[in-house]
Each structure stands twice: as C-alpha cells, then as structure tokens.
Chains A and B, each alone.
Chain A
Amino acid sequence: MIKTRITAWALAAATALTPLTAQAGEIEWLQWFAAEDTSGFYDQLVADFEAKHPDITVKLVTQPFGKVRESIVTDNAIGVGSDVLGLNMPWTKEFLDIGILEPLDDYLARDDNSFATGDLVEAPLGKIEGHTWMVPLNAFPFVMHVNMGLVREAGFDAPPATWEEFAEQAKAISALQDGTSGIGMPFSSQPPSNGPILTFLPLLYANGGRIMDGTTPNFDNPKVVETLQYLKDMQDAGGIAPGAASRTGGVDLEEFIAGRTGFLISPGVHSSSITGRNTEMDYTLARVPSNGEHAYRVHGWELGISADSDNKDDAWTFVNYLLSPEVNARAAKAANALPGNLKALDAVREGADETLIKQMDILEGDTPVEEMRQSPKAVGSWSVMTEEIQAMLRGDKTPQEAATAVQARWMDLAG
C-alpha cells in the first residue's frame, strides 16, 4: 500500500514538473515577427518545417516588439529562456554581457547548411568578442519616403538628392501652409525613445560619418558634429515640424501618412502602410539625401540561439531551414523586406511589391551600415542620444557640446 502511494506521488510530481524540462525535439521560438503579420504566415512556416522534420516540434511564442527584450532577459534569468530567439541587432552587446547568446561560428561552419555564410547580409554577422552571435532573417534598409504632391506644390519636380536640396525643399514645404512641415524629427523621450537611430543615423551615414570605433563609442567626431549642426540649421530655418522633443516615431509616421509632412526617414517597409492607408498620396521613395556618401542604415530581424538551450542542434536545424533561399524569400516577402540570404533576392523580386523593388534598385551598390549592435547598452544608448539632441535643438547646447556629452555618457555606460 505504502509502495503504491509513493509510486503515485512520484508519478504526480514527475507529471507536474514535466513542463519545466525541455523535451527532446521540442524547441521554442520567441519573436515579435508574427505580431506584425496578420496573415498567419508564421504558423504556416512552422507547420511546413514540422512536416519536413517530424522529429522536431516548434512552439511559436509571439510578443510585441517592445516586450521581447525584457522577456529574453527575465526568461533567461529564471531558466525558462526560449531556444531560438528573434533578435534586434542593438541588443547584441548587452545580451553578451549577460551571457544569453550562443556563439554561432561552429554552426555556420557546418557543411550541410542550406546556405552559404557569404550570401548572408553581412551586418549581423560581424564578430564581437571574437564570435558571430546572430544571423539575419531579413533586412530593412532605411530610405526617405516622399510626398511628391507637397514637393511639387513647393515648386520642385524631384525628391532631394543632396543635403542642400533637402534643406531647401523642407523649408519650402513648411512655408506652404499652416500645419505642414518639411520633415518631422521624432526625438521624444517616450519609450522606446529611439528617434536618433531612425533619423539622425541615416543622415550621418549619408554624410560618411560613424558613431563607433569598433566597440568603442566615437560620438564626438567632426562628422557627427556636422550632422547635428545640419539638423539644428534645418530646424532654425523652419524645415522641421515643431515639437520634435515630444514627437514619437509612431506620430511621425502618422503625420506623414496624413500628408502633413513632405518627407519621412524610416525603414522602407513603411511604404506599404503609407500607400495602403493614403491611397491618394502622390508617393515615392528615395535614397536618404547624401552629403557625399552613398551609405544607408539597415536594421533587420535577426535570429540567435540561447546559450542555455537544451536543444541547440534542433534549434540550429530550424534556423538553417529559415535561411534556405526558398524559405528565406517567403519570409522576406511576408514582411515586405529584403531577404537575409542574398541568394533569395531574385525570388523576392518576382512578384514583390513595387516599393520593395524600388528599394532594391535605389540602394544597389550603396553601403549598408549598422553600428548600434556594438554600442554598450541598446536602449540606454539611444535614450542618451535623444536627451542630448533635445538639448541641442532647444539651444541649451551647441552641436559640439551635445556630441561631447553623448560620448562621455556612453563611456560611462560602457563601464
């Protein structure tokens, strides 16, 4: 009788604890990608994978983008982290400090991969601390969205290609009527407080500047100061919509869609929202105006493997599947993005949205840049930039003083 009871208790305890331990062949994929898709594409993607790999099941865990970074950190701390992680490049350094990510070098060197490492978008692959930590599912280049109706009304017949033309057109559009502005700058402190990486960095890269020297902050350099000065001058000339310090990225996009700003610097993927929601806008997209350099900021949806995963091989099998040219092309098309595997470019081009094809055409040959992955703290870094640029636009600091302050505060963050 006692033996039976002990056995029953043991079985009950084992059953209760089962969900806490990973099952062989069962992996979890935490990401925000499916939250931005309404077609059920990612459920289908997982189903297709499971059909091809009957020994592996994938649990799709979807959260909004703003929640994923916190979840990865806290899940990892209590030992329930997902196996495959949807990642954002700027999170890299702080995740490495915590020890969340598994180095992918050995996996990338495997002979049986469905892709060649050389075909992948380069930015996420760059080594930090001697290793590669993530691979690109897709890529979103930054472009300038243009309301050609306002550009023409202001007396121009083509989008600006240079900084000089950009400043001139922005000022002319602001002068058109009350409530219309050349461009908005989303430098609000409200979360995620990332305005500078949306607008300032694309302009800096088009000016040939950089903010990092490897993994060392290098913000107080002449190119940064020159770009900050350009923004200040444009604001003083009236080209920037009033209220930059309380303007969020979301509001900035909405204002452009509503036809109240002539230009919007943001990821090219926003073109589908713009053309879908304001069908009457005379819309085009162009390269971010250059001051001598043809470089563009790129960010993307990356994939990594948790260092604590019990099923790393299965996790890699899934990542490998997502990076194969055929699957990667489907994933890129679903997100209206460029593929992480450049071998999928032709497949993406076939039947792709017209604006996506235009992005490929205008950016061909330009240099993609992503530096935030090397910055010491993702959100902390861009909050600091936001606060100092706010102070500069208010006139409390000169561009040089703002750049110096960012550099000093970043060095503190880097420890």
Chain B
Amino acid sequence: MTTQGTPYMFLLPGLVILGALLSVPLYKVVEYSLYDNVIVERNPTWVGLDNYTTLLTNPGYWSAGLNTLIFTVGSVLGHMVVGIGLALLVNTDISPRARTFFRSMLILPWIFTAVVVALNWQLLLNPFGLVNYVLQWLGLTSEPLDWLGNPDLAMWSLLLISTWRGYPFIMVSFLSGLQTVPKELYEAAEIDGAGFWHKFWHVTLPQLKPVIFGVALLDLIWTFQLFPLVWLSTGGGPGRATEVLSTLTFRLAFVDFQFSQAATVAVSILIISAAFTLLYLRNEARRL
C-alpha cells in the first residue's frame, strides 16, 4: 500500500458507517413511497408514483404545506429580528460583568429541550396563565384568550414560541460576526456624522450580509422540518390549524399507520430541504 493511500484507509470505516447511516434510511424512505403501504402490510404492492398523485390532490397536504411556509418564514423572520436586535444590545459598551450575565441569560432558551419549552409556554398561554393575566391587568383584553386552542391565534402563538426558542442561535452567530467588523469603519462613519441607524444600515448589515444569509438559510432548513416543538405545543391543532408537513408525516405514520403516504410526504420535505441545502452550500462556497 502506498503512503498516500494510508489516511484514506483510516477514514474508510467511519465513511462506510456514515454513508450507510445516511443512504440506507434515505433509500428505504424513497422505496416505501412507491408501495401501497409498508410495515403493516405483509405483501406490499408496487404502485409507482400513485402515492405522489394522491398526495398532490389531497387538500390536507396543501394546507399543511401552507402552514409550513407560514411557520418557517415567520419563525426565521422572528429569529432574525430578535436575534440581531439582542446581539446589538449585548454588544454595547457596558460593564463586562453585566455583559456576560446578559449573554448567558439570553442564550438559555436554546439549551432547553422542546418538551420543557412547550410545557412552559402552555402554562404561560393557558386561559388562566400569566400572559392572559397581564393582558387583562393592562386592560388589553376583557376575557382570557385560548391562545393555543383558538384557530385564529394558534399559529401566532406557535410563532411566538418558536421565536423564543430559536433566536439565541442567530444572536450568537451575529454576535461573533459583529466582533469581526473593523472598528475603523464605524469611526469613519462617525466622522461623516452617521448615527446609530446609519451605522447599522450602511456598515454593520453590509459587513455581515454573508453571515446573515448563511445563518438564515441554515435556520430555514432546520425550521422547515421542525417537528417536536409543534407536536408538543399544539399537536397540529386545534383542528388542523397548525398542522405542518412534519406533523402530517408523523400523523400518517403513527396515528393512521399509512407508512407509504408518510414516506411520500417525507420525500417531499427532503426535496425542498435539499434545495435549501444546495443554496446554502453555494453561498458558503462563494464566501470561501
């Protein structure tokens, strides 16, 4: 064996295991989507693309797709606005001890599991919970609102929960990006008479554009297929008001035992996620 090949031989076992763990489930999901039903069907029948036709003519799929779009775009926007805002705040010139304290506290939502986040927000948003109490105390509502049980409010509530859970990642990424912006640019802007907003729009944002784009795409990919937070917060309800594609996949598989239909939805999620991933990789390649 040549010396040049040796490192690849060391990598081989890891690559084989990783490749198998990625490709086998991927292959199986695509294969399952081409049968009438699997797992519960001992002799599945090959139906080709029939499941895809059924899916595309199913209003439930389109409704879940629309909810996924609203949830994903809303969540990513929420993460970006809150994350960038807080990153700017904790990057200001205050006492180092206070800065460390705020940075540590603000990152907390990221370390909680989805179960803890969902349970806490259910309690907060309960008709007898803190949010309703404060709103009524301020005179903003006359009676308690069922935030997670009212179809008109449930998606907004879910976006609030998702924003709270997801902003720390954006905040941390943006904060590290802020450290790389040369101070001279701000000094030059100040000499030109720029205020806070001018510096933000004309110095900070352009400098951090590649970071923001990359992080937003990553967030988009993760949020698009987010399952536990939605399932544990609303279960896709009330009715199907917050049903997204990931919860629809789970419902078809483990509630209705329609594993092939579930695999078909999963493949559609895979295709869209793959498109986002390609976009992300192209962006990263351009940065390098």
- Residues of A in contact with B (beta carbons under 8 Å apart): 70, 73-74, 77, 94, 97-99, 179, 188-191, 193, 241-247, 251, 260, 377, 379-380, 383, 386-387, 390-391, 394, 413
Contact = CB atoms under 8 A, between A and B. Distances in A.
7 contacts: A73-B40, A98-B40, A99-B42, A188-B148, A190-B234, A193-B237, A246-B238
B237 A245 contact: yes
Contact of A246 (B146, B231, B232, B239): B146
Given A70-B254, A77-B40, A242 B127 contact: yes
Given A188-B235, A377-B255, A379-B255, 11 more contacts: A190-B233, A193-B237, A243-B126, A244-B149, A245-B237, A246-B122, A246-B146, A377-B256, A383-B251, A394-B238, A413-B256
A179 B150 CA distance: 19
A137 to B, nearest CB: 25
B147 interface: yes
B61 interface: no
A77 B253 CA distance: 13
B126 A246 contact: yes
A391 B239 contact: yes
Contacts of B126: 243, 246, 251
Given A73-B257, A246-B148, A191 B231 contact: yes
Residue of B39, B234, B239 most packed against chain A (CB within 10 A): B239
A74 to B, nearest CB: 7
B149 A390 contact: yes
Given A77-B40, A189-B234, A387-B239, A245 B146 contact: yes
B199 interface: no
Interface of B: 38-40, 42, 122, 125-128, 143-144, 146-151, 231-240, 251, 254-257
A190 B232 CA distance: 6
A380 B256 contact: yes
Given A73-B39, A191-B231, A243-B127, A390 B256 contact: no
B153 to A, nearest CB: 10
Contacts of B42: 99
Contacts of A74: 39
A210 B38 CA distance: 34
A387 B240 contact: yes
A172 B70 CA distance: 42
A394 B38 CA distance: 38
A242 B146 contact: yes
Contact of A179 (B128, B234, B237): B128
Chain B contact residues: over half helix, strand or loop, or mixed? loop
B40 A189 contact: no
Given A73-B257, A74-B39, A390 B237 contact: yes
B235 A190 contact: yes
B239 A98 contact: no
Closest 6 CB pairs of A and B: A189-B237, A245-B149, A246-B149, A190-B235, A243-B127, A189-B235
Contacts of A243: 126-128, 144, 146, 149
B144 A190 contact: no
Contacts of A377: 255-257
Contacts of B234: 189-190, 246
Contacts of B237: 188-190, 193, 245, 386-387, 390
Contacts of B125: 246
Nearest to A247: B149
B240 to A, nearest CB: 7
Contacts of B146: 242-246
Contacts of B143: 242
Nearest to A246: B149
B177 to A, nearest CB: 38
A247 B122 CA distance: 9
Given A191-B235, A243-B127, A380 B255 contact: yes
Nearest to B40: A98
A386 B144 CA distance: 22
A390 B39 contact: no
Contacts of B232: 190
Contact of A390 (B127, B236, B238): B238
Given A99-B42, A377-B256, A260 B128 contact: yes
Given A242-B144, A242-B146, A246-B148, A390 B40 contact: no
A192 B235 CA distance: 9
B238 to A, nearest CB: 4
B256 A245 contact: no
A176 B191 CA distance: 67
Contacts of B38: 77
A251 B122 CA distance: 10
A80 B256 CA distance: 22
Contact of B239 (A241, A247, A379, A390): A390
A245 B150 contact: yes
A228 B255 CA distance: 25
Contacts of B150: 245, 394
A193 B39 CA distance: 24
A190 B121 CA distance: 14
A98 B40 CA distance: 5
A142 B273 CA distance: 47
A215 B251 CA distance: 24
A394 B238 CA distance: 10
A97 B251 CA distance: 18
A88 to B, nearest CB: 15
A81 to B, nearest CB: 12
